[in-house]
Amino acid sequence: MELEAIAFAVGIFLVRVLGNTITTIRLILITRGNKLYSTILAFFESLIFVVVLGAVVSNLGSVVNLLAYCGGFAVGGYFGQWLEDKWTRGYIMVMVVTRQQEKGEAIAKAIRAAGFGATEVSGRGGEGE
């Protein structure tokens, strides 16, 4: 295999990693309601997809290019998740139910003191509050 063909396959792999990483970040932004940046990333995501897929489809006889594309997709997904773990704080919902309002308020206060959000909800059931 020529050096040029290897470099082309490596390029496909790296650009596909970038494209799928952008996809993961864009989905995170969508869940957070960030319409502007998610739209901008969608443009680049689709541009990368069309260019790289076109390069692979134009030479379907190259199994190496196909493997580079698929491998880049997989590694890009993994890398995007890794970035999400390192750079952003994902949303987690924990529900704490207590019969003593004072304890619930203390728990919420401690959560807020740690820099997280907490929502308190009072409830009434068959046995009272």
Sole residue written with tokens 């308190």: 120
Query: pLDDT-based confidence at 81, cuts 50/70/90?
Result: confident
Sign of CA dihedral 28, 31, 36, 42: positive
The tokens describing 38, both together, are 């998610």
Sole residue written with tokens 């970038």: 18
The tokens describing 43, both together, are 């443009």
Total domain count for the chain?
A: 2
The answer to whether residue 55 sits within a structural domain is yes
- The mean pLDDT value for 79-92 works out to 78
Task: Indicate if 35 and 98 belong to the same structural domain.
Answer: no
Indicate if the pLDDT at residue 127 is higher than 80: no
How confident is the model over 7-51, as pLDDT tens digits? Answer: 999 999 999 999 999 998 898 889 888 999 999 999 999 999 999
Sole residue written with tokens 């807020």: 112
The whole domain housing 101 covers 90-120
Task: Indicate if 30 and 42 belong to the same structural domain.
Answer: yes
Contacts of 81 (CB under 8 A, 6+ apart): 24
